[in-house]
A and B are shown apart, each in its own frame.
Chain A
Amino acid sequence: MMKLTLRVWRQKNATAPGRFVTYEAKNVSQDMSFLEMLDVLNEELIGRGEEPIAFEHDCREGICGSCGFMIDGLAHGPKRATTVCQLHMRSFRDGDSLTIEPWRARAFPVVKDLIVDRSAFDRIIQAGGFISAPTGSAPDANAILIPKEHADLAFDGAACIGCGACVAACPNAAAMLFTAAKVSHLGLLPQGQPERDDRVRKMVTVMDGEMFGSCTNIGECEAVCPKEIRLYFIARMNHDLIKAGIKVRKMSQQAARI
């Protein structure tokens, strides 16, 4: 059994000022997940009549993307390719003192304690993170041949869980890895070609408008991504956007002809 000291960010709501409060987590078993450690602490807090720490979580299998906060300055904590729900206490030592903070970005305002509002991600998807295929309009699934390598690579981008760790870890609070993962996933598939230029233009425009920062190719996003989405997806998006930008002229000429 271990004992830890936790310095946790407490903030009542979006407008209230926040502050760090220190808690002792006693009787921490190595087999607990980080969130279970907080569950136990919360049960204790409720017992004492103190408000439990609010944090977002759901599947606890590392796939829904709900959970995530900073542990000692690292998004999702010290273990690579792991969300906090899958991070277990055996990654820490008895007596450790940990600072726990929410993701910090203007685009992710704090809702309460460790919960932030990531709806900006949904709006980026709304702008173009889809293939327009109304229900019922699809051809036979095997009518579209997709080379295995393309399908696999597209999957690597599609694996994004939208947790926001990339934004949190980025010194610029940029959302490039998130946006690039979707742009690449859809842009790598033949079904995604007709909307490819339009998609990247619209998604990047909304991304910028949501007040995310600008990428400096530092790679911290890649390092904390629980799904190990690679930095070169950002290069892919850059390429697509520049190409789409150059095509603006061609398209306006075509439109003029029609």
Chain B
Amino acid sequence: METGTKVGHAAELMDTRFDAGIPPGPIDEKWERHRFDMKLVSPANRRRYTILVVGSGLAGSAAAASLGELGYNVKCFSYHDSPRRAHSIAAQGGINAAKNYRNDGDSVFRLFYDTVKGGDFRAREANVYRLAELSVNIIDQCVAQGVPFAREYGGLLDNRSFGGAQVSRTFYARGQTGQQLLLGAYQALERQVGLGTVTMHTRTEMLDLVVADGRARGIVTRNLVTGAIESHLGDAVVLATGGYANVFYLSTNAKASNATAIWRAHKRGAFFGNPCFTQIHPTCIPVSGDHQSKLTLMSESLRNDGRVWVPKKAGDARPPDQIPPDERDYYLERKYPTYGNLAPRDIASRAAKEVCDENRGVGPGGRGVYLDFTDAITRLGERAIRERYGNLFDMYERITGENAYRVPMRMYPAAHYVMGGLWVDYNLMSTIPGLFVGGEANFSDHGANRLGASALMQGLADGYFILPYTVADYIGRTQPDKVAADHPALRAVEEEVLERVTRLLDISGTRTVDSFHRELGRIMWDHCGMARNDAGLRRALEKIPELRAEFWENVRVLERNEEVNQSLEKAGRVADFLELGELICIDALHRTESCGGHFREESQTPDGEALRDDGHFIYVAAWEYTGSLARPNLHKEPLHFEHVRLVQRSYK
């Protein structure tokens, strides 16, 4: 177990071993040409190749179903009881597509441009362009599957503008777009299961990756009902295991969302891209006490009609209706007169943190700001507000017991999404040949900040339209031989996994897994959350290894491996978060600029806005595991901007 306590000087290499493999040619022809250059696998031979897909969210289900349709022998793994539970299901807002159905000037190029700019110029142009191109196919595909998108009376699809976009390109299905898209992919997947092309392994968690002869050749899993440690061999492995925002313990992610699959792959040689790019969502229901287990997001659309404020006076404990208007600080309207309450996610989040740090926060613990609908209700009437946001107000009342038609909502930012993830090339293949990564699990196309309604788009683009081509190309090019079931690499990994499980059970300490997770979350949130600085990050880099050391000496996991053991499941995941947390802080420390979701206090404009350092940081930071958690190697993939002009974002 590594328990390095010192921050190492990351070896900085301009590496040639890893190449993004961006196809030549004009940006709008790259994907088309690349597809033509791909090797094909004859339909008769596809059945002979086994593809392991880990995860069954948007990217995983879509990839597994599509590869099954093509005729490959697919095995899909999920730790849930059913693939339909994956956390993609919780996405509320919508999915972007450059359909230009509104005739309002949208285009593939504009979606591409907005996404690169929204990501604060830290994403690959070629990838983002492909994403924008494929966005239109996704909507077609989902409608054909029966996804009930919102429609107009004429029967055509409805759109709305979302997340500050100036065009209406967001398709939505009430406030449950993620659910409907996931169920579409889930149904396509189950269809293949019924046809026998996909074998579904539910309640099965991937605990390690098998790399044999330099290629990803399998995974080792734990059966969550029987505890059996099993190996599954394949010719290619696809990880679609989601993001790691639960490193903060409190986040909008599902309780089981974890980093184990990608972290194990990282430790087997896959580079980790931009781990410090995490996104904080400004409108979540605040923490109500120590028992808090997760945070609930309230749709950003509320900021269209709600006004954000806190008392002007620090420590003002009066109820909101007794604070007169001139003693209220509508700080977003004050600081950003043009955008006001609609300022982008990262800016709104930081502004909330700032006023709470000044002891002007509201609600229990002082970690909250008001989102007040009084003016909108006076102007439009309660009925209009109920029509627009009724379900959200109901949800707020269910959780807080407060009626937001009478008293202002309380909101606070929460960890929501990660732009970072395993580094992948244009083919979505990691630095381990044969290991592909899709969806939120890869470092993805969002750069340093993701725009609203873009996560669903990326997950489905990867799953339906990219991985089925690129995985096939890999198979066609390499024509992998079968790995013997008794390959020494396989046994070695199995033994390591079993040894680790046994060790967790044998510690028999005094602290619960959750208490460690909670403490790690607090360290991450305090020092590597909405705002980061050198001293804080160094402090975190001291605390995390200490906490990790204590974990391996003092965690208490009861009972045995050979049964349902939810503490054991959590322990393995938290052990990995305790390592990943350190890498996130190392990455955040090395990137001394501010960009997107990564705000370094040392790098800001005179009026407190994020300041990029394009001179030094126009690259993807890809970290290589070296055997020492404290001293990973940094590889830089330079980014080139030929179609987008680098500008400083301004929302004044």
Contact = CB atoms under 8 A, between A and B. Distances in A.
Interface of A: 12-13, 29-33, 35-37, 39-40, 43, 46-47, 49-52, 54, 56-66, 79, 82, 86, 88, 90, 111-112, 115, 117-119, 121-122, 125-127, 129-142, 144-148, 151-152, 154-155, 158-159, 161-162, 185-186, 189, 191-192
Q: Name, among A115, A139, A155, the residue most crowded by chain B CB atoms within 10 Å (CB to CB).
A: A155
Interface stretch (B78-86, B271-279, B318-326): B78-86
Nearest to A206: B194
B194 A126 contact: yes
**A contact face: mostly helix, strand, loop, or mixed:** loop
A5 to B, nearest CB: 19
Closest 4 pairs between A and B when the two form their complex, measured CB to CB: A145-B155, A138-B144, A130-B187, A126-B194
Interface string B463-506: 01100100000000000000000000000000000000000000
Contacts of B308: none
> How big is the B interface, by class?
35 or more
B512 A90 contact: no
B66 A135 contact: yes
A155 B148 contact: yes
B191 A126 contact: yes
13 contacts: A36-B292, A36-B293, A46-B558, A54-B564, A66-B81, A122-B82, A129-B187, A130-B188, A131-B145, A148-B152, A162-B84, A191-B145, A191-B146
Nearest to A135: B66
Given A111-B564, A135-B66, A151 B151 contact: yes
A158 B143 CA distance: 13
B401 A186 contact: no
Contacts of B157: 141-142
B190 interface: yes
Interface in B87-104: 87, 89-90, 99, 101
Q: Name, among B149, B194, B401, the residue most crowded by chain A CB atoms within 10 Å (CB to CB).
A: B194
Given A119-B81, A135-B468, A59 B141 contact: no
B256 A151 contact: no
B559 interface: yes
B386 to A, nearest CB: 16
A90 B397 CA distance: 11
B81 A29 contact: no
Given A43-B514, A46-B556, A189-B148, A135 B85 contact: no
A86 B85 CA distance: 16
A93 to B, nearest CB: 14
A39 B514 contact: yes
Contacts of A138: 137, 140-141, 143-144
B154 interface: yes
A64 B176 contact: no
B564 A130 contact: no
A30 B187 contact: no
B398 interface: yes
B190 A154 contact: no
B81 A141 contact: no
B398 A82 contact: yes
Nearest to A153: B148
Contacts of B644: none
Given A59-B87, A111-B564, A112-B564, A88 B398 contact: yes
A133 B180 CA distance: 16
B81 A189 contact: no
Contacts of B176: 63, 159
B628 interface: no
B237 to A, nearest CB: 20
A230 B157 CA distance: 25
B300 interface: no
Contacts of A52: 558, 566-567
B191 A130 contact: yes
B140 A59 contact: no
A192 B255 CA distance: 35
B26 interface: no
Given A135-B65, A141-B143, A154-B146, 4 more contacts: A64-B87, A133-B145, A146-B151, A155-B174
B153 interface: yes
B522 interface: no
B563 interface: yes
Contacts of A133: 141, 144-146, 188
A43 B193 CA distance: 39
A32 B289 contact: yes
Contacts of B190: 122, 125-126, 129-130
Q: Name, among A115, A119, A130, the residue most crowded by chain B CB atoms within 10 Å (CB to CB).
A: A130
Contact of A43 (B146, B154, B180, B512): B512
A28 B598 CA distance: 37
B291 A66 contact: no
Contacts of A61: 90, 296-297
